[in-house]
Amino acid sequence: MRKFTTIAASTLSSAVLLGGASAWAEDLTLCWAAWDPANALVELSKEYEAQSGNTMHFEFVPWPNFADRMLNELNSGGKLCDLLIGDSQWIGGGAENGHYVKLNDFFDANSISMDDFAPATVYAYSTWPKGTPNYYALPAMGDANGWFYRKDWFERDDIKAAYKEATGQDLREPQSQKELLQIAQFFQGRDIDGQTRYGAAIFTERGSEGITMGATGALYAWGFKYENTPGEYDMAGAVNSPEAVEALEFYKEFYKTATPPGYTDSYMEQGLDAFKSGQVAMAMNWFAFFPGLYQDPDVGGDKIGFFVNPPQNVAASTLGGQGISVVSYSEHQDAALDYIKWFAQPDVQAKWWSLGGYSCHNSVLNDPGFKDSQPFAADFLEAMGGVQDFWQEPVYAELLLAMQKRLHDYVVADVGTAQEALDLLIEDWTETFEDEGKL
């Protein structure tokens, strides 16, 4: 089993009376991944502690170990987490396996309406079965896979002239996947300020979810679908369509011709490192990291620009983000529900955005000043309008591992063809769904 580490934080009060209530204050533990938004949530939650008298503790696990650690906790009926900000793919298993408290009655009793949250986030983070008014989480952290680039390089006269000479086109933020690759290939191996630079950092990690989250950015943009008919698991002709084959071939070409050497198993951290160290002109990563990147003293500010995952046949982005759920094994469910009630307030959601979290609340997203509130805010809105997600089935982990293997074998390890990889993936998924009695 992989070793995990935690970042714990607890602040303020101990056993004091809840505001005017007769019950003693409680200790709550919120579990999430260890990344910048989690630190913002610690800061935000200080206000909840002051208002409620409850004390918040946090169990933050590094992303590569997050799923293993938290799913093991849930499957064992563990009482570590009172609140869990779990990945969108977990919602099916959380509901069907009884890990998450169904929140409909609580929402109704406290006038919390899912109409107040962006529809894509309600669908992806909260509902099971998908699209039904059965809620097991409150949308907590909107996210999508986007792109950032060295704006200072793109604006240099010598680099613009060289790109024009090489391609006959003006250097700009890419408007298509193919233009994205063309720009990355232009920068590949280019000398800038006496150092060799490379095109872009993309996701190739095999062990958890990395290469799937990266490659689907291309697959979705070409029109990839998991099923021909939603809910029917009829995958032949969708998963392995000609468009899907072309997109996967494109992703392999991108990896082979426009990425830094040695990035055979790279995900979030490695991509950030490549960009911050000046190795690459562009990088894909989650919008969650964009506030920190913009503040980076070396590559942020005027040096960095942001753009949405470019379309090819359709406009689409890979969904990230999570909802916040009450764990059914918690001995502090009432207090956990109280935290969700507090978190759902529009003023709290506004502060959540200001601290570096990505609110899903319409009052924040639809505010006239939102698009200009951060240099990536308008891109975030555009991305969330076209997000697509991986299977959210209770057996999603098995489905994900199969895709990780097939994609990594083809893209990185040069095993077979794109057509063969997708055909084999359908065989893998068919066997899984047959075992589940869904085929």
Looking at residue 11, its pLDDT comes to 29
Structure tokens belonging to residue 325: 């759920």
Question: Quick one: average pLDDT of 404-418?
Answer: 98
Question: Quick one: average pLDDT of 141-155?
Answer: 98
Q: Is 362 helix (H, G, I), strand (E, B) or coil?
A: helix
Considering the chain, what percentage of its residues have pLDDT values greater than 90? 94
Among residues 229, 223, 272, 274, the alpha carbon closest in space to that of 248 is found at 223
How many whole angstroms separate alpha carbon 204 and alpha carbon 214? 7
Question: Quick one: average pLDDT of 265-278?
Answer: 98
How many whole angstroms separate alpha carbon 60 and alpha carbon 39? 9
One domain, residues 176 and 247: yes
CB 188 within 8 A of CB 198: yes
Confidence of residue 404 (pLDDT cuts 50, 70, 90): very high
pTM of the predicted structure, to 2 decimals? 0.93
Considering the chain, what percentage of its residues have pLDDT values greater than 70? 95
One domain, residues 308 and 203: yes
Query: Rounded to whole angstroms, what are the CA distances from 63 to 3, 35, 209?
Result: 12, 8, 10
Among residues 87, 78, 104, 217, the alpha carbon closest in space to that of 140 is found at 87
Residue-number span of the structural domain to which 223 is assigned: 145-318
The Cβ of residue 247 has, within 10 Å, a number of other Cβ atoms equal to 26
One domain, residues 125 and 191: no
CB 180 within 8 A of CB 337: no
Confidence of residue 23 (pLDDT cuts 50, 70, 90): low
Return the residue matching tokens 């929140």: 103
Q: How many Å is the maximal CA-CA distance in the chain?
A: 75
Structure tokens belonging to residue 18: 């809840």
Show which of 318, 344, 376 is a domain's final residue. 318
How many whole angstroms separate alpha carbon 73 and alpha carbon 88? 17
CB burial class (10 A; 0-12, 13-18, 19+) of residue 249? middle
Confidence of residue 300 (pLDDT cuts 50, 70, 90): very high
CATH number, domain containing residue 226:
3.40.190.10
How many whole angstroms separate alpha carbon 249 and alpha carbon 254? 9
Structural domain count of the chain: 2
One domain, residues 94 and 169: no
Report whether pLDDT(1) > 50: no
Report whether pLDDT(7) > 90: no
Looking at residue 22, its pLDDT comes to 31
Show which of 271, 286, 318 is a domain's final residue. 318
How many whole angstroms separate alpha carbon 390 and alpha carbon 117? 21
**pLDDT tens, position by position, 27-36:** 999 999 999 9
How many whole angstroms separate alpha carbon 320 and alpha carbon 202? 16
Looking at residue 16, its pLDDT comes to 30
In a domain? residue 346? yes
Confidence of residue 17 (pLDDT cuts 50, 70, 90): very low
Looking at residue 4, its pLDDT comes to 27
Query: Rounded to whole angstroms, what are the CA distances from 155 to 127, 158, 163, 172, 333?
Result: 44, 9, 11, 9, 54
Structure tokens belonging to residue 142: 């909107």
CB 106 within 8 A of CB 335: no
One domain, residues 154 and 248: yes
One domain, residues 66 and 200: no
Confidence of residue 6 (pLDDT cuts 50, 70, 90): very low
One domain, residues 37 and 176: no
CB 367 within 8 A of CB 298: no
**pLDDT tens, position by position, 218-263:** 999 999 999 999 999 999 999 999 999 999 999 999 999 999 999 9
Confidence of residue 402 (pLDDT cuts 50, 70, 90): very high
Show which of 363, 388, 413 is a domain's final residue. 388
The torsion region of residue 4 among left (phi > 0), alpha (psi -120 to 50) and beta comes to: beta
Structure tokens belonging to residue 407: 């994609």
Query: How many residues are given for the chain?
Result: 439
One domain, residues 312 and 374: no
The torsion region of residue 194 among left (phi > 0), alpha (psi -120 to 50) and beta comes to: left
**pLDDT tens, position by position, 153-184:** 999 999 999 999 999 999 999 999 999 999 99
**pLDDT tens, position by position, 185-230:** 999 999 999 999 999 999 999 999 999 999 999 999 999 999 999 9
Q: What is the mean pLDDT of the chain?
A: 94
Among residues 171, 165, 162, 168, the alpha carbon closest in space to that of 190 is found at 162
Residue 150, beta-bridge partner list: 304
In a domain? residue 218? yes
One domain, residues 154 and 139: no
Confidence of residue 10 (pLDDT cuts 50, 70, 90): very low
CB 266 within 8 A of CB 411: no
Phi, psi of 63 (to 5 degrees): -50, -45
